């Protein structure tokens, strides 16, 4: 299935040189990590993977900043946003604006990363060739006006690389290049591909519980890599729900963490969808 009104070739007309260069360097350094394995390096990398992808993207950028699926203090919001920048997926306004466009135009012409163009485009092509505009804070303000009102989010969107660079320099001082290769370069590359699989794989492969208008699917293996983000068909059907894995067997780490945070009063007003909430016609045959 292709999108007729935007020729695929025209999408590749503009190359984002800086993004390409940064990603090439990160991938080369990620491969170099193979020569500096230690259990400490692995443990630091796994910890930062959880902080950045689990807390930063899944709980922060996605379920909180984009969809406002729960409420929390301003301080915890800021903490989650800083965690999000550690992924190299851009600042909060960029991420939120891109993702809101994805929900508004899912698998249509204006979807930034639909696999209906092709799987490569959905996974990484839209970053390398698209008008991604990581640092274009003013343009992003149109799509994320709620975040644009906050000077901290504006600053963090423009200077999203600052926290990652700071952590990188700290790790260089305490653990040397081996630790940087593992906990910055390899960890960022794995995190990027895991997140991109939500854009590519979960709009191509998997089961559809809900007959949504887009191609979203539920994927258990993408959910394992992304702390629960792979239950993507559930999510498209109920975007504001902070719970993505709706059945008991749909493992959703972020949801479990939110239950704990709610119990101790860190988050509140948590929005939750349930399977029984779905009307008969919503359930895909
Ligand atoms: Zn989607
Ligand atoms: Zn979403």
Walk along the chain (285 residues) and give the pLDDT tens digit of each residue: 456 556 677 777 788 899 999 999 999 999 999 999 999 999 999 999 999 999 999 999 999 999 999 999 999 999 999 999 999 999 999 999 999 999 999 999 889 899 999 999 999 999 998 765 445 667 777 889 999 999 999 999 999 999 999 999 999 999 999 999 999 999 999 999 999 999 999 999 999 999 999 999 999 999 999 999 999 999 999 999 999 999 999 999 999 999 999 999 999 999 998 777 654 345 554
> Is residue 65 included in any domain, yes or no?
yes
pLDDT for position 280: 38
Domain count, the chain: 1
Q: Is there a contact between 53 and 227 (Cβ–Cβ < 8 Å)?
A: yes
> Is residue 78 included in any domain, yes or no?
yes
Ligand with minimal distance to 198 CA: 1
Distance CA 225, CA 194 (A): 6
Q: Is there a contact between 232 and 203 (Cβ–Cβ < 8 Å)?
A: yes
CA 34 / ligand 1 centre spacing (Å): 33
CA 51 / ligand 2 centre spacing (Å): 19
Ligand with minimal distance to 215 CA: 1
Neighbours of 35 (CB within 10 A): 8
Q: Is there a contact between 153 and 93 (Cβ–Cβ < 8 Å)?
A: yes
pLDDT for position 9: 72
Ligand with minimal distance to 216 CA: 1
SS3 sequence of 37-61: CCHHHHHHHHHHHHHHHHHHHHHHH
CA 213 / ligand 1 centre spacing (Å): 11
Distance CA 127, CA 33 (A): 24
CA 33 / ligand 1 centre spacing (Å): 32
Q: Which two tokens stand for residue 186?
A: 């390899």
> Is residue 168 included in any domain, yes or no?
yes
Distance CA 72, CA 267 (A): 5
CA 113 / ligand 1 centre spacing (Å): 9
> Is residue 229 included in any domain, yes or no?
no
pLDDT for position 183: 98
Residue in the structure block whose two tokens are 């000077």:
151
CA 124 / ligand 2 centre spacing (Å): 18
CA 184 / ligand 1 centre spacing (Å): 27
pLDDT for position 136: 64
> Is residue 141 included in any domain, yes or no?
yes
Q: Give the range of the structural domain holding residue 191, as residue numbers without chain letter.
A: 13-205
């Amino acid at each position: 299935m292709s999108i007729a009104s935007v020729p695929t070739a025209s999408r590749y007309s503009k190359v984002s040189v800086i993004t390409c260069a940064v990603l090439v360097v990160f991938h080369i350094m990620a491969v170099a990590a193979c020569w500096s394995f230690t259990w400490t390096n692995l443990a630091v990398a796994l910890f930062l993977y959880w902080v950045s992808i689990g807390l930063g993207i899944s709980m922060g950028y996605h379920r909180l900043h984009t969809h406002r699926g729960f409420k929390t203090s301003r301080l915890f919001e800021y903490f989650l946003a800083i965690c999000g920048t550690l992924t190299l997926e851009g600042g909060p306004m960029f991420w939120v604006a891109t993702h809101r466009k994805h929900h508004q135009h899912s698998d249509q012409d204006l979807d930034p990363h639909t696999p209906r163009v092709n799987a490569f485009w959905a996974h990484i092509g839209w970053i390398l060739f698209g008008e991604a505009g990581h640092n274009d804070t003013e343009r992003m303000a149109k799509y994320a006006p709620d975040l644009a009102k906050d000077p901290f989010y504006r600053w963090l969107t423009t200077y999203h690389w600052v926290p990652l660079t700071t952590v990188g320099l700290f790790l260089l001082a305490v653990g040397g290049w081996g630790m940087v290769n593992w906990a910055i370069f390899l960890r960022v590359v794995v995190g990027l591909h895991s997140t991109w699989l939500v854009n590519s794989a979960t709009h191509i492969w998997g089961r559809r519980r809900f007959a949504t208008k887009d191609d979203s699917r539920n994927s258990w293996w993408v959910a394992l890599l992304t702390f629960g983000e792979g239950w993507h068909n559930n999510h498209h059907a109920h975007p504001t729900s902070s719970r993505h894995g709706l059945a008991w067997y749909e493992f959703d780490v972020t949801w479990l963490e939110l239950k704990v945070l709610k119990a101790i009063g860190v988050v509140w007003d948590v929005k939750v969808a349930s399977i029984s909430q779905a009307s008969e016609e919503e359930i895909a045959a």
